[in-house]
Chains A and B, each alone.
Chain A
Amino acid sequence: GAGVSQSPSNKVTEKGKDVELRCDPISGHTALYWYRQSLGQGLEFLIYFQGNSAPDKSGLPSDRFSAERTGGSVSTLTIQRTQQEDSAVYLCASSLIGRSLQGGTDTQYFGPGTRLTVL
């Protein structure tokens, strides 16, 4: 079946430009997550959506980062005025339940990621 897809797979941009990264979750999954992984580093959680709502945006690195989700499906992560330190692989994941009493058993399915390079 169709998994989580992300586009573009690679994005090269110049410092100061804005970029949009897209995530298509698995159909029917309530929850959607964004992470980033810098070269040689672990995965850093950025933001989580339950439906179209993001209960906690405190993981976003700066106010240049924003994300939205529409129709309980597709999500877009936008980075304004990109900086070289934004270069990383941005990963999206979705899960069936998200935050709930059964959330401990919820498993996340990851997309292949978007590799962002800021020159």
Chain B
Amino acid sequence: DAKTTQPNSMESNEEEPVHLPCNHSTISGTDYIHWYRQLPSQGPEYVIHGLTSNVNNRMASLAIAEDRKSSTLILHRATLRDAAVYYCILKVAGGGADGLTFGKGTHLIIQP
């Protein structure tokens, strides 16, 4: 699977927007961009995914660059509960590795 690069950690204040970047310069045309997060002492949970167009759901928004070599997860109004490790993962449609390849992710710290 193509590799992703994320900052090790980011810090934000409560009730402010957070933009979490991810670089995936070797992405292929059939790779979907998935974001998961892992809250302390819990299993990962799905956040959002997209292919080419920007996506919105109740948890977050995903902005995908026109060349697809990078994307940004946007939390519009961070709460303390959003403190977690956020993983940007590329998923191949059809074949390829079946499990998700988790990198080190971005440790998001939310200050009250």
Contact = CB atoms under 8 A, between A and B. Distances in A.
Interface string B45-78: 1100101000000000000000000000000000
A45 B94 contact: no
Residue of B34, B44, B91 with most chain A CB atoms under a 10 A cut-off: B44
Contacts of B34: 107
Interface string A56-69: 10010000000000
Nearest to A102: B93
Nearest to B45: A110
Contacts of A113: 42-43
Interface string B4-16: 0000000000000
Interface of B: 30-32, 34, 36, 42-46, 49, 51, 91-95, 97-105
Interface of A: 4, 31, 33, 35, 42-43, 45-48, 50, 55-56, 59, 91, 93, 98-113
